[in-house]
Chain A
Amino acid sequence: GENVEQHPSTLSVQEGDSAVIKCTYSDSASNYFPWYKQELGKGPQLIIDIRSNVGEKKDQRIAVTLNKTAKHFSLHITETQPEDSAVYFCAASMTNAGKSTFGDGTTLTVKP
């Protein structure tokens, strides 16, 4: 089955700095890569996603890049703010499968 590895497990940055979280996947059939943000006491919420026919996608301060050849994708957050502090999960899935495989999560702390 699919295996997703996520790094780093914890990340601390100063407010205004950029943060990058990386994930690698094992199954070349995976074609959908969402990122979820989970704040304390809440469920994961989708913040951005990318499909395998696209190399990069941006939404304001967040962007995701995908390298299909290397089977890795990354989340980039620019101009970080304290409210970006949360646990971030990457995931991978494929069209004909009903399940997503999650990475182990990255705890991001943005220091004011």
Chain B
Amino acid sequence: DTEVTQTPKHLVMGMTNKKSLKCEQHMGHRAMYWYKQKAKKPPELMFVYSYEKLSINESVPSRFSPECPNSSLLNLHLHALQPEDSALYLCASSQVLRGAIPLHFGNGTRLTVT
């Protein structure tokens, strides 16, 4: 089982809804990531937090709003999404924000926007 836990596993939401995805890790990692993955494609980086501060935003639309309440938790708040935002949303962590070290992924939240 993965050491990065994501909830919920599945989420269906309408375009006017507001929902949140949650991610938790207890490995003491200080970097946490949100990735978006479409079918048959590699993960695509969205946001990176380092020591609870937003370090990388890959020009993601403002309808996605990340939050890192503490070093173990990462949230992604969703509002006014479009059907093309339907995807697998993956959370990952690493010891620190640095290249050349492995990423630890959760099993993702499968999001469907109707």
Contacts and interface: CB of A to CB of B under 8 A. Distances in A.
Interface of A: 31-32, 34, 36, 41-46, 49, 51, 87, 89, 93-100, 102-105, 107
Consensus secondary structure, chain B interface? loop
Nearest to B110: A41
A51 B99 CA distance: 11
B105 to A, nearest CB: 4
Contacts of B97: 98
Interface string B90-114: 1010000111111111111000000
Contact of B99 (A41, A42, A99): A99
Interface in B1-21: 2, 4
B28 to A, nearest CB: 17
A100 B100 CA distance: 8
Given A41-B107, A45-B2, 7 more contacts: A32-B100, A36-B103, A43-B108, A96-B98, A96-B99, A98-B55, A104-B42
